Amino acid sequence: MSENPSISWYDDFLGVAYRYFDIRMNVVLMFNESKPTRDLWYETMHWWNDHTIKIRFIETGDDYWFVMGADSRRPDTNKYFYKILEKSANYERFKKGHQGSAYMRFGIYSRKTVDEVKNDALCDCGHRKDDHDVDSHSCLYEVCDCTNFDTFQLNILKKKKVVTNIKFLSEDDVKDDALAWNCLNRNKYSKND
């Protein structure tokens, strides 16, 4: 298996979120701007054939590589996606519960301050907005060292693709998988030289 030089690898996204409460679990690529994200969906994902979409999770110690690609009806604008991420409880939950398929979606991730949310919004410290001081915005719980209310919002776009080819691999197994091999060969092994 050799590296395919025509594959355009894209890693200019924030990370991956997982959502559990649909018919299928969701894998959401997170971006920080709406217009470029919607343009990327239309230029790339819109043209992907659902039955050819592949997602690979390549575990390397405490991290994993998220790798995704597919055949496109517009190969001139096709991109494959990858990102190196830390393993998390949400990743482990997806790994155990995906049942062989998932919805692939894009989402817009944005930070929110105390003035931009309702009283029941949770801060990154885990406490509600109304559990923070009105003036200093620090947490009122004595055991909490939060000094400023800060949270995030993820708006998941409606468009989605169905992915049924999902594999979890160790780094030793990538040589047997073309997508995983092409990604690591281009973005890890050839950069070590």
What integer pLDDT is reported at residue 193 of this predicted model? 52
Q: Select from 158, 160, 182, 170 the least CA-distant residue to 95.
A: 170
Residues 6+ apart with CB under 8 A from 157: 37, 38, 41, 105, 106, 107, 108
Domain interval for residue 37: 9-115+152-189
Lowest mean pLDDT segment, chosen from 35-44, 50-59, 60-69, 117-126: 117-126
Identity of the highest mean pLDDT range in 55-64, 149-158, 183-192: 55-64
pLDDT greater than 60 at residue 5: no
CA pair distance 171, 71, nearest whole angstrom: 24
pLDDT greater than 50 at residue 114: yes
Task: Judge whether 145 lies within some domain.
Answer: no
Task: Judge whether 95 lies within some domain.
Answer: yes
Written as one string, the DSSP assignment of the chain is ----TT--EE--S-EEEEE-SSSSEEEEEEES-HHHHHHHHHHTGGGB-GGG-EEEEEEETTEEEEEEE--BS-GGG--EEEEEEE--HHHHHHHHH-TT-EEEEEEEEEEEEGGGS-TTPBPTTS-BGGGB-TTT--B--TT----S-EEEEEEE-S--EEE-EEEEEEGGGGGG-HHHHHHHIIIIITT--
Lowest mean pLDDT segment, chosen from 16-30, 31-45, 121-135, 156-170: 121-135
pLDDT greater than 80 at residue 71: yes
Task: Judge whether 123 lies within some domain.
Answer: no
Instruction: Tell me what the mean pLDDT of segment 68-73 comes to.
Output: 95
Identity of the highest mean pLDDT range in 12-16, 109-113, 184-188: 12-16
Query: Tens digits of per-residue pLDDT, 115-130?
Result: 888 878 888 888 888 8
Instruction: Tell me what the mean pLDDT of segment 61-70 comes to.
Output: 96
Q: Select from 192, 191, 125 the least CA-distant residue to 152.
A: 125
Sign of the Cα torsion 81, 86, 163, 173 reads: positive
CB atoms within 10 A of CB 190: 10
Identify the band that residue 2 occupies on the pLDDT scale cut at 50, 70 and 90: very low
Q: How distant, in Å, are the alpha carbons of 17, 66, 116, 117 from that of 139?
A: 27, 35, 17, 16
Task: Judge whether 181 lies within some domain.
Answer: yes
Tokens of 97: 């519960």
Q: Output the average pLDDT for the chain.
A: 91
pLDDT greater than 70 at residue 147: yes
Domain count, the chain: 1
Task: Judge whether 180 lies within some domain.
Answer: yes
Task: Judge whether 144 lies within some domain.
Answer: no
What integer pLDDT is reported at residue 1 of this predicted model? 34
Higher pLDDT, 191 or 193: 191
Task: Judge whether 135 lies within some domain.
Answer: no
Task: Judge whether 105 lies within some domain.
Answer: yes
> What is the reported pTM?
0.86
